[in-house]
Structure 1
Amino acid sequence: MNYTLEPHAQLRDVTLRDGLQLTGKLLSTEKKVQLVRELIRAGVPAIEIGSMARPDLVPPMANTLEVVSALSADELEKCWIWVATPGHVALAADAGARNFQYCFSVTDSHNQANIGRTTEASLAKLPEAVEAAREVGGRIQLCLATSFTCPFEGIVDPNRVLAIANDPRTEGTEAIVICDTLGQAAPAQVTDLITRVREETPPRQIVFHGHDTWGLGVSNTLAAIVAGATMVDGALGGLGGCPFAPGASGNTSSEDILFATQPAWLTPEKLSHLVNLAEGLLVELGEPNRSKTAQGVRSNAKVFPWVFESDEGEI
């Protein structure tokens, strides 16, 4: 029996983008494609498969376009690409991508460090990116990094987020991604901002992107869902972080989000499979596993249906 959280939100797994950014190791195109297909086969409804960031600055993203080209149109329907310019949208679209996440920071200092321009400059180019996505029949989200805190400016005034969300140049974006880039937000803070975005900005899907720096990743994700987010981001094993945000740690674990929300498609066998998938990846990358679910499924509570004696989970 699943205790599915209501209201419901979809998980988007961001292992292959935000998860890999700090690893310094480039996974082969073949391994990335295999991971995408394993996630889809398990039932994960949405996946962020890479970024158009410069490979000299973020080496693990160097083969993103090769990954896009290797996937089928049906697979790409579930996949998202991080972009920061209209040119990024055009390049990714040429490779076959149709779902784009146009990202910039609420604070100028982080946007300069992350993207190399002011927040206003990124916002000014958004209409061109929206048009480029529309020309190929694609979808585009507005992604706002440092929505809660900034590594250079500290706590961010929520009104700055709302001002961007209400800017007419954001018209045409189908969703807004509210990012706790540093993982420094508390649940009440998340509830407040997500509620205000839902009530005070144009109607569109709300996505929450959280990190687990202070151990509140799952709590913040649940707070976002209850407040109105219908998609939430996570990474296998809590992998990841932003290379241009001092103090950022791993993403909220996808496995932990899934156990907390228990969507209808999730079974104990599928969760076990995802835990094993994460463990294999993390061993290859030489990264620690931050997932509490990875510990839970191997606990001594053998009568609990989510616990497995075997190290192998089958779908």
Structure 2
Amino acid sequence: MPETTLSSVASRARLRDVTLRDGLQLTGKMLPTEQKVALARALFAAGVPDVEIGSMARGDLVPPMANTLEVIEALTPEELEHSWVWVATPRHIERAREAGARNFQYCFSASDSHNQANIGRSTDASLEAMPAAVALTEEVGGRIQLCIATSFTCPFEGDVDPDRVIAIANDERATGASDIVICDTLGQAHPGQVSSLIRRVVTETPTREIVFHGHDTWGAGVVNALAAVEAGAAVIDGALGGLGGCPFAPGASGNTATEDLLFALRPDWLDPNRFAQLVAESERLLTDLGEPNRSKARQGARSNAAAFPWIVATTG
């Protein structure tokens, strides 16, 4: 595809920031509710259209997610229209919607081994429960996503057959999902794989908005995201500073950095000032968490190439 065409397509792609869920779940520090809410609002203020604000995973298993219900309760209905909560069971949705949530990412793995490790049940059992999850979401006028983790590789089983992902996407028990999330959970996919699977989802499964969730374990996070967008994905997930990873997926590293994705995608709302706001938020958060900042765009923004408009001046 000509570069100008890809650039045009990429600029229309939306970014969903997942710092408050996937980004935080491997850290050893739980952020106070007030700090999480402030970060969500800072992301919205900078122009990020959608934010994943937490997970209904058990707090004893994933401690940084223990105050997700409090975060939901603190956000306004208008903010919650653009907020997503990770769920794995109908009961998760019941609890989250009571707190005010309306948008749910119903997630399970293409591979049974990872689903057992992550959720404690088979993939088929997760699918079997999805109609109830859809019904609960529809009762509050919300949206539910079919999120397929380990769409490319599994830490326990190796390569995942693309036909397995397509079969899940076509399963009648997933009817009612507004979107489908294709996850490179381990960050082991390459652009050819990403492009091929996304194109198959576009052509062989029910029409839904496609989200690509990538990790940058092997340094292909941004190029995989671009491949996904070119193939038909409308939304790309990222986390500030490349923070994150799955606690039940050995070998997984951080998400593709929000800063890197935005610098590459250049959505219409992004300008150097808003980019600078996100760089500053990223630096404050990762410093507070004691985590390394893996964003290459952030590194470039703090360089000495003063003539480049995307450079973020160092103050004080």
**Residue 173, structure 1, aligned to residue 177, structure 2:** yes
**Paired residue for 1:202?**
206
> What are the superposed Cα offsets for residues 24-77 of structure 1, whole Å, 9 maximum, x if unpaired?
210000000000000000000000000000000000000000000000000101
139, 145, 151: which one aligns with 2:149: 145
- Alignment correspondent of 1:22: 26
Counterparts of 2:312 and 2:210 in 1: how far apart (Å)?
A: 35
Structure 2 residue 269 is matched with structure 1 residue 265: yes
Q: Which runs of 5+ in 1 are unaligned?
A: none
Which residue identity is paired with 1:48? E
Which of 230, 251, 254 is the aligned partner of 1:250? Answer: 254
1:106–1:145: 8 Å Cα contact kept in structure 2? yes
Secondary structure of the residue that 1:309 maps to in structure 2? coil
Instruction: Compute the displacement of 1:6 (Å).
Output: 2.3
Q: Which residue matches 1:301?
A: 305
In structure 1, C-alpha distance between the alignment counterparts of 2:55 and 2:95, rounded to whole Å: 11
Q: Distance in 2 between matches of 1:25 and 1:307?
A: 31
Among 87, 91, 96, which residue is 1:87 paired with?
A: 91
Task: Specify the alignment match of 2:7 in structure 1.
Answer: 5
Contact 1:276 1:311 in 2 (8 A): no
Q: d(CA) in 2 for partners of 1:311 and 1:288?
A: 21
Q: Partner of 2:206: helix, strand, or coil?
A: coil
Q: Distance in 1 between matches of 2:28 and 2:177?
A: 32
Question: Quick check: 293-302 or 210-219, which moved more?
Answer: 293-302
How many Å separate the matches in 2 of 1:87 and 1:21? Answer: 20
SS in 1 for 2:44: helix
- Partner secondary structure for residue 181 of structure 1: coil
Unpaired segments ≥5 residues, structure 2: none
Give the aligned residue type for 1:171. Answer: T
Corresponding residue number in structure 1 for 2:62: 58
- TM-score normalised to the size of structure 1? 0.97
**Number of equivalent positions:** 310
| TM-score, structure 2 as length reference | 0.97
* C-alpha displacement of 1:311: 4.3
Q: Matched residues in 2 for 1:174 and 1:5: separation?
A: 26
Matches of 2:312 and 2:51 in 1, distance apart?
26
Structure 2 distance, partners of 1:294, 1:273, is: 11
Q: 2:192 aligns with which of 181, 188, 195?
A: 188
Pick from 47, 52, 57: which aligns with 2:51? 47
Q: Secondary structure at the match of 2:254?
A: coil
Structure 2 residue aligned with 1:220: 224
Aligned to 1:36: 40
- Between the aligned partners of 1:267 and 1:311, the Cα distance in structure 2 is 19
Aligned-pair Cα RMSD in Å: 1.1
Write out the 4+ residue segments of structure 1 that deviate beyond 4 Å after TM superposition. none
Overall identity of the aligned pairs, in %: 68
Residue equivalent to 1:127 = 131
- Residue type at the aligned position of 2:216: D
Report the Cα offset of residue 310 of structure 1: 2.7
Matched with 2:291 is: 287
Distance 1:308 1:24 in 2: 29
